Amino acid sequence: MITLALSKGRIFDETLPLLKAAGIEVLDDPEKTRKLILATNQPEVRVVLVRATDVPTYVQYGGADLGITGLDTLIEHGSDGLYQPLDLQIAKCRVSVAVREGYDYAAAVRQGARLRVATKYVAIAREFFAAKGVHVDLIKLYGSMELAPLTGLADAIVDLVSTGNTLKANHLVEVERIMDISSRLVVNQAALKLKREPIRRIIDAFGQALGQP
Ligand code: PRT
Ligand code: MG
């Protein structure tokens, strides 16, 4: 049996065409079923639905053989024991710094003020500001980062942006782009050895669908 870990929502939706290219069709709609293990048209392949942030953990410990996860999540989790054969070019966005409209971020940085930064992405934020030589107090949040500068919890946030509509709707502006994000295929290293043939077939089919050799 080959187990693929996916999260519901954009990653699941954008993975379907790749699965199809590999001849795999998921038999249930994750938005309609309460099942957490979904069968596919291939009796030897199943999908497990997990929280986006749990995908690397499942694959690392062998709860799933393969998984699809955002680079953001992968960096925060760390890639120990994970083989990363493909950039799937799906669920694209960027990690950015944003502040309240009217907040003079450049001046705050120039003056060497200690910035309060709220984020779910503490590893990415720590590394980014350390490289810039900016002192920050990081405040870990699990969601709705946009609220932090509006309530005085933080001066800035580090968050994912795709269209920018969420920032705009909350009177926030993007002041720095930290990195571009897309989703990655991750594979359990031991599974790759033990189930080499079927896993290779999936990696190769995804690669071909992406136009990679
Ligand atoms: O939502 P939940 O708490 O269950 O889990 P999650 O947020 O970890 O998962 P999910 O499914 O929302 O995101 C999974 C992955 O999709 C992320 O790890 C990213 O790699 C990728 N991705 C791509 C995004 C976005 N685009 C995105 N826009 N993840 C989140 N967003 C958020 C963004 O932070 C903003 O708050 O969507 C909101 C809308 O963005 P705008 O800029 O288009 O308005
Ligand atoms: Mg989300």
Structural domain spans, the chain: 2-91+182-209, 93-181
The protein residue with its alpha carbon nearest to ligand 1, atom 8, reads 52
Reported confidence tier of residue 212, pLDDT bands at 50, 70, 90: confident
Average pLDDT over residues 15-21: 96
Query: Rounded to the nearest whole angstrom, what is the distance from the C-alpha of residue 134 to the centroid of ligand 2?
Result: 28
Average pLDDT over residues 24-37: 96
Tens digits of residue pLDDT in 41-73: 999 999 999 999 999 999 999 999 999 999 999
Tens digits of residue pLDDT in 151-197: 999 999 999 999 999 999 999 999 999 999 999 999 999 999 999 99
Atom of ligand 1 nearest to the CA of 71: 20
Q: At what angle do helices 10-21 and 196-209 cross, to 10 degrees?
A: 100
The Cα–Cα gap between 191 and 101 comes to 49
Phi, psi of 26 (to 5 degrees): -80, 135
pLDDT at 113: 87
58-95 per-residue burial string, b: 16 or more CB within 10 A, e: under 16: bbbeebbbbbbbbbbbbbbbeeeebbebbebebbebbb
Pocket test for ligand 1, best of 14, 71, 93, 186 (most atoms within 8 A of CB): 93
Domain 2-91+182-209 in CATH 3.40.190.10? yes
Q: Do domains 2-91+182-209 and 93-181 have the same CATH topology?
A: yes
Relative to beta strand 2-6, strand 66-70 is: parallel
pLDDT at 213: 62
Query: Rounded to the nearest whole angstrom, what is the distance from the C-alpha of residue 169 to the centroid of ligand 2?
Result: 17
Q: What CATH code would you report for 93-181? A: 3.40.190.10
pLDDT at 66: 98
